[in-house]
Amino acid sequence: MYKTPANYKPILARRETEHAIVAIKHFFQTSLSTELNLTRVTAPLFVPSGLGINDDLNGVEKPVSFAVKEMGGQRMEIVQSLAKWKRLKVTEMGCKPGFGIYTDMNAIRPDETLDAIHSLYVDQWDWELCIDEKDRNVFFLLDIVKKVYRSLKRTEFYIFDHYSKLSPILPEEIKLIYSDDLQREYPKLSPKERENAAAKKYGAVFIIGIGGKLPDGSLHDGRAPDYDDWITESGDGHVGLNGDLLLWDSILGTALELSSMGIRVSPESLRAQLKERGMEERAELDFHKRLLNGELSFTLGGGIGQSRLCMFLLRKAHIGETQVSAWPKSVRQECNAAGIPLL
């Protein structure tokens, strides 16, 4: 069963919501691309199987795949994210450090557990920035995090200026905190409970170091071993050059993960992470060979949920109010009874 908020009433009607979604997407991507020097590119919906280009996200998800008749039955996979494809594209385009790309990423994730913020259909802005090797450090990462957050704040005000009932609620600054420090602050809570506590306390938080081992040997959350660098030391005993950006969703009373981003693996950290996960055979895949041979640009990148951003800014109770997807009959019935109009 889905936990629906009591006495929920949408602030914007259906037509206003559709107009606002368009406005948010247009304004935010313009702001983000200007802030980070990103050029818009066209992205694939599917990629060839077996080359190591598609992403495993937490390391266990299985992509939707199909055979292509006109290509001798070669199998293609619907993308789950574009983390590795973007790095190839930045390299192919010859982007200089300080410049990069962004695109619309659309995906199907059939293994997703459906709830108010998770859908089978994923729509996000995927972006990738070329960087110097010397910028592979946590300070550079956090500077980019602050720029992304500025674009969020700017978009929030833009929507308020057009819809006065949607007053700004984001704090002026985003809180930056390491996953191991968060564990020490809330030692009796699970990772998700720690995220909720931090997001509620600060309003907006970036948790640094996702995928590597915490001091007690546990993981804050999973990450595949071949895109984000979660094993490199970041100083003061901390590990990881990546993280998750969370906002406090006052409608749902929970943390809303809006973005994951990170400095991408170097040849050295890729080898270490593949060994850590027992996946050293991946080093023989085409993408991984090129990376290990030093053929790919150093990059930093991430994804930002489009429907989730719209959901947050428009004070919606369900992601199905800002995107069209497939939902079990029971979910539609429950949402209808709670006054939640799914698209």
Active-site residue flag, 109: yes
3-state secondary structure of 55: coil
Six token digits for residue 49: 């199987």
Six token digits for residue 34: 């200007």
To 10 degrees, the CA torsion angle through 230, 65, 305, 93? 70
Active-site residue flag, 260: yes
Active-site residue flag, 228: no
Residue 246's H or E segment, with its range, is strand 242-249
Task: Pick the catalytic residue from 77, 195, 244, 321.
Answer: 244
Task: Pick the catalytic residue from 126, 257, 297, 307.
Answer: 257
Strand partners, 261: 243, 302
Output b/e per residue, 250-265; b: 16+ Cβ within 10 A.
Answer: ebbebbbbbbbbbbbb
Active-site residue flag, 233: no
Residue 139's H or E segment, with its range, is helix 138-162
Six token digits for residue 288: 């991984």
Task: Pick the catalytic residue from 33, 259, 260, 306.
Answer: 260
Task: Pick the catalytic residue from 29, 55, 259, 282.
Answer: 55
* Region for residue 200 given its phi and psi (left: phi exceeds 0; alpha: psi -120 to 50; beta: otherwise): alpha
Amino acid at site 248? W
Task: Pick the catalytic residue from 80, 81, 124, 323.
Answer: 124
Active-site residue flag, 297: no
3-state secondary structure of 5: coil
Give catalytic residue positions: 55, 109, 124, 244, 257, 260
